[in-house]
Amino acid sequence: MDLQRADNDYSCGLLVQSIAIARSPNEHSLIFLIEDDSRADADHIDTHRSTAYIVGPYVKNAVVSTSYNTVNFICTMGNILGIALLNLNDTLAAPMLDVFDTTLDPTKWTFTALLSSTGLAQYIQT
């Protein structure tokens, strides 16, 4: 399981690095990543917890430990895109404001994917 998780993390990193936003002229791009089924592999605290990632030039380079859920994630995406919210749940949800810092300079933002020493991808150099 750790091998697959490491390879998944690396592939997401390559997406960010190569084609999505790290080298894009559009400095307002964001990528939202969330684990699709955290119950299949419980972490050390709770089977209902999952990790989520937001990647982009205005995202703080920090771990944000505020307790959010998928509805907060959807609410944040809807607010950023300026689209109508889906229902009462995401309308009442708090957006994930402490993840962002609009004072950051997007022209100085970079990202490089690092190959994990525990993943299978280390044996397949591209």
Q: Which of 1, 18, 87 is nearest to 55 (CA)?
A: 18
pLDDT for residue 13: 84
Joined tokens for residue 28: 């307002």
DSSP assignment of 42-88: --SS-TT---EEEESTTB-SS-------HHHHHHHHHHHHTPPP-SH
Say which residue, 35 or 9, is predicted with more confidence.
Answer: 9
Q: Which of 36-40, 51-55, 61-65, 97-101 has the lowest mean pLDDT?
A: 36-40
The SS3 assignment for 32 reads strand
User: 55: which strand partners?
Assistant: 31
Q: What is the pLDDT of residues 94-108, one digit of tens each?
A: 999 999 998 988 878
C-alpha distances in angstroms, 50 versus 16, 24, 57, 124? 20, 29, 23, 28
Q: Does 36 score more than 60 pLDDT?
A: yes
47: confidence class by pLDDT, cuts 50, 70, 90: low
Out of 10-24, 41-55, 73-87, 98-112, pick the least confident. 41-55
